[in-house]
Chains A and B, each alone.
Chain A
Amino acid sequence: MKKNENTPHLNRRGFLKVASATGVAASAPMIFMKDAYAAKDFRNDPKDSKTVTLGFNVPQSGPYADEGADELRAYKLAVKHLNGEGDGGMMKTMKPSMLKGNGILGKKVVFSTGDTQTKSDAARASAKRMIEKDGALMITGGSSSGVAIAVQGLCQEMGTIFMAGLTHSNDTTGKDRRRYGFRHFFNTEMSGAALGPVLEKEYGTDRTAYHLTADYTWGWSQEGSIKKYTEKMGWKTKAAVKTPVGAGDFSQFITPVLNSGADVLVLNHYGKDMVNSLTQAVQFGLRDKQVNGKDFQIVVPLFSRLMAQGAGENIKGILGSTNWNWALKDEGSAAFVKSFGAEYGQPPSMAAHTCYVQTLLYANACEMAGTFYPPEVIKALEGFKFDGMGNGPTEYRAEDHQCFKDVLVVRGNEKPTSQFDLLEVVQEVPRAQVEYPHDMLGGELGPYEV
């Protein structure tokens, strides 16, 4: 069987090495060479080069373009700090840290950028360009779980480390976890675990919830987690209705809530959907209602300041969870906000924070490993415990590459003191409360060597 002779193992390593190293001339004939690699030879090895390239893959067009722009600001700041320019930001507060401000492993950090367009195809194309053309050693960024999972899968195949940006679905480090993918951001499970007790305290145990859920993976993940934790404390779930993504007008989904007997509306929406559904829910007078003798409440499980801006007045007093907020007073956050503010004249968003931290963590892991060789870097990141980067003591759990740290429960600020002061922190939910067993969500990390 010809087939069997040619494919004893389906393994792409031999080819990758060649393709990555080549320019044009070498391309065609050498593809067929196999297994001609030395032990620590890997894609985009900077070798003697004086620089090392990182790939920043953020949405520059589409609904999350503003978030993407903020992510890019954070990346540029991180590169500055790594190269020893600027005030160093969190590099001074991160513990433990091997970062020296002389680039990574003595090589100056440079970067290339790409537009994910918040589409899996475009994001993968752009990541591939950075890996294949620009020689990026690490890919990071993104503002949606679909994109994160798609790019993470690609990076596993390519043997390039992926430090996820904003992605909140359980799947990223759950059923779709990958050895080469790392997530600093929290997830819906942690949102649920953090929000649950606060909701109980604020609204009691005798509540009936009505869910409106964006009809895609993140929405379902969010709905599942909130249901799980609210039902645990005695809430009933009246209904969970799926809404088309980008519906614009949600009136036909909101009106059934009015007379459903529910007294809490949970909006499992993000981005534009959240802004629209919340604005419209408030117009329908939901917040002025009394049901079952209680004030009707709206909950938005995932908040971001940029989205809060879009919702304007409507966000005031509404509870939700967030990964990080610039108003945090710890040393790390303060240092980051200070240098970000000095550079750009505005505070960083939570997406910017995650992206900044991810870049530093990757750089530090390379220093710890003493090499850019991805399997060693991965091992350095796995189980890495650190502090001083906001959110208190944090651990990159080895089994699923999920960061565990404090989660913020926030409320839309009733009396903002400035245009940036939109969310007030209600509680910093300690890490222990949001932790869950690593095998709860399933998934396989896959091999170190690809």
Chain B
Amino acid sequence: MMKNLIKSNTVIMLIFAAVVLTAPMWTAPIGANYPDLLQKFAIFGIFAVGYNILFGLTGYLSFGHAAFLGIGSYTAVWSFKLLTMNVVPAIILAVIVSGIFALIIGYLSLRRSGIYFSILTLAFAQMAYSLAYSVLTPITNGETGLQLEQQDPRVIDSMFGVVVTDGLPSTNLFGTLMSGYSGFYVAAAFLIFAFYISLKIFRSPFGMKLLAIKSNQTRMKYTGFNTKPYLLTAFIISGMYAGLAGGLLASIDPLAGAERMQWTASGEVVLMTIMGGVGTLIGPLLGAGIIKYLENIFSALNKSELTEIFSFMPEWLQTIVVNISNVFVGEGWHLTLGALFMLIVIFLPGGVMEGVTKIKDFILGIFGKGEDNRTAEIEGEAK
């Protein structure tokens, strides 16, 4: 009974939406309840969820997805500059343009598999990055990043006679400004939508076929499937997710920089996905959240704040704890990141989601209801 309830799409989506929309509340105790970080959680969540459609379902490890994030951002900023400050056209264009690039890059890269595929995607993304940083500066504004200017044409806005009072205009969704908490809620709405699509794909025959390709591609061919278009479709979808994330990044903060396309950015989404749990629905989101949290909160802690945090301890212990933990925060946040990567792979090979499953099993075990829990989501569906 309970199990069926949990497996129902509607229930999952309701719970998911409730959790996402109340994020400003439950992130308060960990100090993450400010708009910028919440927006980043949602946007990189979309990026990771989309990446998981490629990597989690087909097993193809792309090392160049940041290129689509960057392309989405540039497209969106250009839409703000040329068309209108409304985010709707910007995001639609971002998704379409990154989809087109994903089609081209995917078509070429998918001619190879395994590590050869990975390096091809990496090479394309690095070319995009290098060119955006230097030669393509007229389009990308190079190192500084593409920014809005007061004298931008914005033809649609000027057609409707929107007056720019002073300073730079702001991005908006039919009048609702995109910065701050409203920006978070717009991004959250997109995340819920993106998650819903991902859930549908995971639980569709299409998704099952992608999983089967990951499991045994040769067999799929002899079973009568042309695997190339399946892989390409998955590649394009995940590229469009990245474009959506990039477009949202630019909508909330209208600036697009080349470093968004660098290999480290591509690597970041890979790490988010693996850390959270490849092929699980929620895992990549968790991974994105953890990495962004470390980057933004841990890097900002310093000794005086640590002293405050551990103030409940006796003084001698506090000094020791503060001195030890000080190594891992502030400029040492990279160390925490590295250590976390290692600990998770060593102790939780399936990512954070495996930890969640283990805890769930443990609790179920206590109540004597140990069930055969498996990571694949689909089989429960097909019953």
Contacts and interface: CB of A to CB of B under 8 A. Distances in A.
B196 to A, nearest CB: 21
Interface string A11-29: 1100110111011110110
Contacts of A176: 144, 147
Given A7-B172, A125-B40, A145-B144, A447 B150 contact: no
A294 interface: no
A129 B39 CA distance: 11
Q: How large is the interface on B (under 10, 10 to 19, 20 to 34, 35 or more residues)?
A: 35 or more
A12 to B, nearest CB: 5
A224 to B, nearest CB: 14
B28 interface: yes
Q: How large is the interface on A (under 10, 10 to 19, 20 to 34, 35 or more residues)?
A: 35 or more
A153 B300 contact: no
A19 B302 contact: no
Interface in B175-200: 175-177, 179-182, 185
A132 interface: yes
A132 B34 CA distance: 6
B49 to A, nearest CB: 20
Nearest to B35: A132
Contacts of B364: none
A16 B179 contact: yes
A126 interface: yes
B253 A12 contact: no
Contacts of B145: 120, 146, 149-150
Given A28-B185, A114-B300, A447 B166 contact: yes
A217 B144 contact: yes
Contact of A157 (B130, B168, B172, B331): B168
A6 B144 contact: no
Contact of B255 (A24, A129, A150, A447): A150
A263 to B, nearest CB: 28
Contacts of B85: 10
Nearest to B154: A10
Contacts of B130: 244
A60 B259 contact: no
B316 interface: no
Nearest to A215: B134
B162 A31 contact: no
Interface string A422-450: 00000000000000000000001011011
B144 A149 contact: yes
A31 B176 contact: yes
Nearest to A60: B331
A61 interface: yes
B333 A115 contact: yes
Interface in B348-377: none
A61 B331 contact: yes
B36 A61 contact: no
Contacts of A124: 253, 255
B164 interface: yes
A119 B144 contact: no
B144 A146 contact: yes
Nearest to A128: B36
A154 interface: yes
Contacts of B300: 112-115, 126, 129-130, 134
Contacts of A418: none
Contacts of B331: 60-61, 65, 68-69, 115
A244 B172 CA distance: 37
B167 interface: yes
B81 interface: no
Given A125-B296, A129-B300, A133-B34, A10 B164 contact: yes
B161 interface: yes
Given A6-B174, A9-B165, A113 B144 contact: no
A19 B38 CA distance: 13
B86 interface: yes
A3 B86 contact: yes
Interface string B23-39: 01100100101111100
Interface of A: 1-12, 15-16, 18-20, 22-25, 27-28, 31-32, 60-61, 65, 68-69, 112-115, 119-122, 124-126, 128-130, 132-134, 145-146, 149-150, 153-154, 156-157, 171, 176, 179, 215-218, 242, 244-245, 444, 446-447, 449-450
Given A8-B163, A61-B299, A114-B299, 7 more contacts: A3-B86, A7-B175, A28-B181, A121-B249, A146-B145, A171-B144, A449-B166
8 contacts: A3-B175, A10-B169, A27-B24, A32-B176, A60-B299, A115-B299, A129-B36, A134-B300
